[in-house]
Structure 1
Amino acid sequence: MAKSCFSRFQSISHRVASPLSKSQRRALRSSRSLSSLSPPLPPASSLILRPPSSLVLAARFIPSDAPQRSDEWFALRRDKLTTSTFSTALGFWKGTRRFELWKEKVFEPDSQTAEAAQMRAMEWGVLNEAAAIERYISITGREVSSLGFATHSEERFEWLGASPDGLLGCFPGGGILEVKCPFNKGKPETALPWSTLPFYYMPQVQGQMEIMDRDWVDLYCWTINGSTVFRVYRERGYWDLIYGILREFWWENVVPARETLLMGRDEEAVNLYKPSSTHKQTGLVIFRSAKMASEAKLLCREIAGHVEFYRREGKEILVANRMDSGLSWADQWDYNNDPPPRSSDDDSKKGKGSKVKKVKLIKWVKDLCKKPANK
């Protein structure tokens, strides 16, 4: 795949974000709706920018002067299907989430779409994202570079876009950083970092890797009480599966509805292109996502300031306290981007709890397949 094109690519040093202003809160409402769970990029005021390194420039990124959270930046996102909305476009969520995403892309965004609870969760992510990235840098020793917006360089994929939280290393061989700050249902002060990777983030990170032509993502879960780092590798077969559904959603639902609206037709005519609540392959995608999430590598766990790193050696997981080594985490971990070979022996027997979760997941997938799609 050819290299991707980036807007406003810069290396950054982070400091703690300040509370959102009224204008930033309004922008957040207009840019985020029920279609997305992941937090947007932090306000530009929370970052100290410095020029990109020569290693980064070697990737031949095409820069743009569109500032983050500017009108141009929002316009770029509105006219693309962004990776943060992939799970919604795939039909992962119950109710009208898929329809709301379609409506958001066809009509003018409704600033009142997001509910109060969702707005608080989004604001929590915005306020803490910079501090979370700073903590990731402190733990791993990696340099994180930031960009405003990324689009696929191939014309046939130009309707896809991404706003990852950071880039790790230079191209080729570098990775992507995606940060999550769980709101914990309104109680973030009691939240603990994930012990397993939530499957519904798999479409987002796989989409980021495809758009930016990178082979791995560090998905960093930050909470007040600790954090975890999961490594996810690129899976082209999975992308082929979800791409067909995403393409159908965009070109058979969104684009024709937009064209109908531009022709001056009434809303009833536009609604003929309204998508169903799920896709016929939604169950399969959820099953594949859950399997891949369960196989994601837990690289690091931090609880109350104590950091442990995990490496797989055969059947055993080796745990090392960072204080026991003079090397940084990035030095201890390999820069080999290929996932380690798996064998049947790698999958140890799981406990009763995990079997129950698997049974529930299979039942959920079967229910999705049986349930008639809402028109």
Structure 2
Amino acid sequence: MEPIYLDHNATAPILPAVADAVRDALLAFPGNASSQHGPGRDARRRLEADRERVAAMLGVDTAGPRPDRLIFTSGGTESNNLALRGVVEPLLRAGRPARLIVSAVEHPSVMETASRLRERGCRVDLLPVDHEGVVRLDTLDALLAEPAGESETLVSVMLGNNETGVLQPIEEIARRSREAGALSHTDAVQALGKAPVDFRRLGVSMLSLTAHKLHGPVGVGGLLVESGLKTPELLSGGWSNDRPGTSPVALVAGLAAALEAAHNDAGRPARMRGLRDRFESLVTAADPQAVVVGAGAARLPHVANIAFVGLDRQVMHMALDREAIACSTGSACASGSSEPSPVLTAMGVDNRVVGGSLRFSLGALTTEREVDEAARRISLVCKRLRGCESGRK
């Protein structure tokens, strides 16, 4: 049976052209970009050239009198940690109050980091969402209106949700935060290449990204930091402007190539949205008890969170795996957990919906034939499992 990969939110297979870019850079730039000899200087020039390429495509000003920064990291998790910890930890070490406002539907790398910072004395407020998964701006206003004293406040809300694809009003959140004297951060990992991501236009203080959700290589990402905002190093040892360690020149070349491929494929978001809508229509028509979570909100074009009400998501997931369909029960960083999805729980959806939900996520190379065949196999699995449930009754 031909495998059908519908778990691009976990990781997207690298594009051949991107793999070629990584290989070419590995062979052409063997030096350490921190070294002062010729091979090192060559590697540094390539690294900085790719930094400028990525920055330009993301609306980052690195050349003006007050340049923004692009710090390369190992991926989205490190970027999110650097954003939150980089603001809060210096304050805590200095004995000053710090405050985080994070949405209730953030990725585990934000939620768990916030929880650990709370244990160290940081105040953490959860920003609730409505039944579609969109943050409550009125609650944000109320939280921002509370007297902060000497506390530094950071608001962290992801651009597009990793489980439902629901988009957040980041420009408005950034504007309200700035007017209240607070910093803002957005996790744009899932949105990059599928929705417009312009750092200056969004107006956030920091933005996290990664390559492997974008058909790039695993192991490289970045944090965009606005001019004037300092982020202390979380690692020690080795020379670096922002982050110690040997710069991954070849991986950065892959990140730049993957982002460039997305920019050059202007029709990709519309194509994925059409396939996603087709997929959702086929699945819900074949199984009337299936519902699309977050369908009433603006969403990323490639994500479909479908709840097979009355069926167990773990059982359904294993059955689809046997049918050679790769999907997910939620965030890949929380895979294996039998706990209900915190994202869907925060949305206040019915427990039977939470218990039956699966995430399907498409990629740049997903075809209509794959979508149709996946829907056919899912329909057969649903009929078989629902027949078993009826037999037990």
Give the shorter-chain TM-score range.
under 0.3
Which structure has greater strand proportion? 1
Return the TM-score normalized by structure 1. Answer: 0.24
Larger Rg: 2
